[in-house]
Structure 1
């Protein structure tokens, strides 16, 4: 399963809530509650087909025709958002899989960057191995480009602020991402802060 950091998930939720309106206001409460607790955010996974997960939530926005809300726990399904909120509060150590239904979701790099493979979803027999491989490659490239672009922007801001600590941390994070899909032209960032003689610019 793809690792998505707590900060990336928080950033996505903030973006999502600022751009889309969920059909149930309780969904906003749940997302905000999750976002305010790092322990819970570590257990959050954004997936498709959440109904197959041991503990899954489906939330939909007004721009799609999907069901407003569903919570799955084992063999039980409920549309009562308060019950799901109660379960989240009581079972902080259990993974929670969230499916967000909104218009053109797969055209959103913010969403694609945090989307994880659902280990509980049944394999689709009609999808050939080649089609699946091409889809995975496209997904990996989309995630890479989004994360790289976000980090490059943050690095530029750190340089503008002359914030060396943030610069080092962000360039380390960028180089870790580059290792997974390494275009050589992005390995220049260590030279931005220091000149040829090792002096700060």
Structure 2
């Protein structure tokens, strides 16, 4: 059983929706589902790290670019979004470990009121686990950069379809501002 009251979790999710314009349909679906289903809200644990958990969700919200992302992780393996969403729908007793990544989130007391320890993540860290952590962080950065580039390109295409020159120039400038390595990595997927 979670040590955090459901009311605190509910207030935190409502606060996220009120404060941030969450663009990802999948992230919105998951958070709305938690608000609608009290039993699921009871089973969610907000943690700083989802590694080593049987099932984890990482939601990254980037208010500066309006590009959000969601990753579903089963036993340390990233799983496809549709599989992660099906797991949520079909697993009635599964504890869901959720990491919400937003800049400066740790400064907000509402977040601190819901954060719990991840019981699956070892307290002691060795050199190997720190190396692993760095590799995972680098991989996740690449995935998020890839998603950001894809989102910008889709928005560029939409602005061309609409004939919106202003949006087109703004978005191409934003795409050009990304490092060339990020754009090259996107063209040569992992």
Pick the TM interval, shorter chain.
Answer: 0.5 to 0.7
Aligned residue for 1:69? 70
Distance 1:115 1:77, change over 3 A: same
2:51 and 2:34 map into 1 onto residues whose CA distance is 19
Instruction: Please state how far the C-alpha of 1:72 moved relative to its aligned partner.
Output: 1.0
When normalised by structure 2's length, the TM-score is: 0.59
Instruction: Please state how far the C-alpha of 1:74 moved relative to its aligned partner.
Output: 2.2
Aligned residue for 1:26? 26
Moved more, 107-116 or 23-32: 23-32
2:58 and 2:68 map into 1 onto residues whose CA distance is 8
Distance 1:20 1:124, change over 3 A: farther
1:22 and 1:46 map into 2 onto residues whose CA distance is 18
Aligned residue for 2:81? 81
CA contact (8 A) 2:13 2:35 kept: yes
Aligned residue for 2:38? 38
How many aligned positions are there? 125
Instruction: Please state how far the C-alpha of 1:26 moved relative to its aligned partner.
Output: 1.1
Distance 1:64 1:83, change over 3 A: farther
1:125 and 1:82 map into 2 onto residues whose CA distance is 33
Q: Which runs of 4+ in 1 moved over 4 A?
A: 64-67
Distance 1:105 1:61, change over 3 A: same
Instruction: Please state how far the C-alpha of 1:73 moved relative to its aligned partner.
Output: 1.4
Distance 1:60 1:76, change over 3 A: same
Bigger RCO of structures 1 and 2 (CA < 8 A, at least 6 apart) = 2
1:50 and 1:12 map into 2 onto residues whose CA distance is 18
1:22 and 1:88 map into 2 onto residues whose CA distance is 19
2:91 and 2:101 map into 1 onto residues whose CA distance is 25
When normalised by structure 1's length, the TM-score is: 0.56
Distance 1:49 1:67, change over 3 A: farther
Instruction: Please state how far the C-alpha of 1:91 moved relative to its aligned partner.
Output: 0.3
Instruction: Please state how far the C-alpha of 1:125 moved relative to its aligned partner.
Output: 4.2
Instruction: Please state how far the C-alpha of 1:34 moved relative to its aligned partner.
Output: 1.5
State yes or no: 1:110 paired with 2:117. no
Distance 1:83 1:41, change over 3 A: same
Deviation readout 1:93-149 (Å, 9 max, x if unpaired): 0100000000101101000000001111222548xxxxxxxxxxxxxxxxxxxxxxx
Instruction: Please state how far the C-alpha of 1:47 moved relative to its aligned partner.
Output: 0.2
1:124 and 1:22 map into 2 onto residues whose CA distance is 35
